[in-house]
Amino acid sequence: MIQFSAQQIAMMIQGKVEGDASVAVSQFGKIEEATAGQISFLANPKYEEFLYQTKASIIIINDSLVLKNPIAATLIRVPDAYAAFATLLTKYQELKTQNLTGIQTPSYISSSAKLGDNHFVAAFAHIGDNVTTGEHVKIFPNVVIGENVKIGNNVILHPGVVIYADCVLGNNITIHSGSIIGGDGFGFAPKADGSFQKVPQLGNVIIEDDVEIGSNTTIDRATIGSTIIRKGVKLDNLIQVAHNVEVGENTVIAAQTGLSGSTKVGKGVMMGGQAGTAGHLSIADGVKVAARSGITKTITQANSTITGFPAAEHSTALRAQIHMKNLPNLEKRVKELEILVAQLSQKG
């Protein structure tokens, strides 16, 4: 168990200690539940009441926070408590994994594979022919890496990840359990007799630096060329990325979203859960897609917000929803007008 003092933690996150700098912690806790020996943080004002009740030994808070009551815990003040806590969690995770080195048995590593320094290969992993990896690559149990795969530095492949042949992974990538990279794209050509002929998927998947991919996400290989996940992309769990899709830099996509074949997603796009796209369309940079939106045509306006099905500009979609709610009343009024018109016609 790793233990750090308040002073050591403050140095890691560039914070200022208020209170006993020597107090030590070895665990993390939520501010409303934390106990002695744990560190917590306060970023959301809704939880401020717990700041004066918590039993945490150390709490990270914003520089701007003005205390309303005395606090027994040691405080570490930083410009952004949430970001600082995330940094601390990252450093802690790195410390936990950096000592994992070597090769466990039973595992299979092809004689033609080349592994970088400080690698870790867990039992029951499979590494195919001509695989190359960089330094500090951690491969956990039941990971399968196909032939000719190239992997950069500081990559973590959690249990059950499958990387198909010829795929390319950059540096600082984390792929969580059960994800499949490079499976066949959904390509079938209809035949005259009503059956379908499979179209061979000969491309690959390229994942650039600083990408994180959630559990059970699938990224299909291209038919020809590459399916590309650009630098800094964050994908949630249970996402389907089809063949020949390109996801732009620093885009974030929430769970259960589906991107159909040849979709081009711009930079800095944010997509809510269960959103979906038709194939062969583009989404401009900075677009925000509300959860459960269905995109059926190209979005050309950068930094816009869209919602609904078919997806439309947010304010337009909201007006449409209001009109939909009013339809029963409108129907009633139309029927009343029809009756009135009929009565006037009879009198005429």
Band of residue 311 on the pLDDT scale cut at 50, 70, 90: confident
Which pLDDT tens digit goes with each residue over 117-145?
999 999 999 999 999 999 999 999 999 99
Residue 322 within any structural domain of the chain: no
Helix segments in the chain, DSSP class H: 6-13, 48-51, 81-98, 314-347
Beta strand 58-62 with 102-103 is unpaired
Residue 71 within any structural domain of the chain: yes
Place of tokens 């492949």: 157
Does position 348 have pLDDT exceeding 70, yes or no? no
CATH number of residue 88's parent domain:
3.40.1390.10
Q: Which of residues 147 and 335 earns the better pLDDT score?
A: 147
Residue 284 within any structural domain of the chain: no
| Long-range Cβ contacts of 68-73 (<8 Å, 24+ apart) | 71/19, 73/19
Q: Which of 126, 243, 280, 323 is catalytic?
A: 243
Does position 21 have pLDDT exceeding 70, yes or no? yes
Residue 122 within any structural domain of the chain: no
Position 2 scores a pLDDT of: 78
**Count of domains in the chain?**
1
Residue 295 within any structural domain of the chain: no
Which pLDDT tens digit goes with each residue over 171-225?
999 999 999 999 999 999 999 999 999 999 999 999 999 999 999 999 999 999 9
Residue 69 within any structural domain of the chain: yes
Which pLDDT tens digit goes with each residue over 67-102?
999 999 999 999 999 999 999 998 888 887 777 899
Closest CA to 35 of 84, 64, 72: 72
Phi-psi region of 207 (alpha: psi -120 to 50; beta: other; left: phi over 0): beta
Which amino acid is located at 276 in the chain? G
CA angle 183, 184, 186 (to 5 degrees): 130
Is 176 assigned a catalytic role? Answer: no
Residue 347 within any structural domain of the chain: no
Residue 94 within any structural domain of the chain: yes
Domain range enclosing 30: 4-98
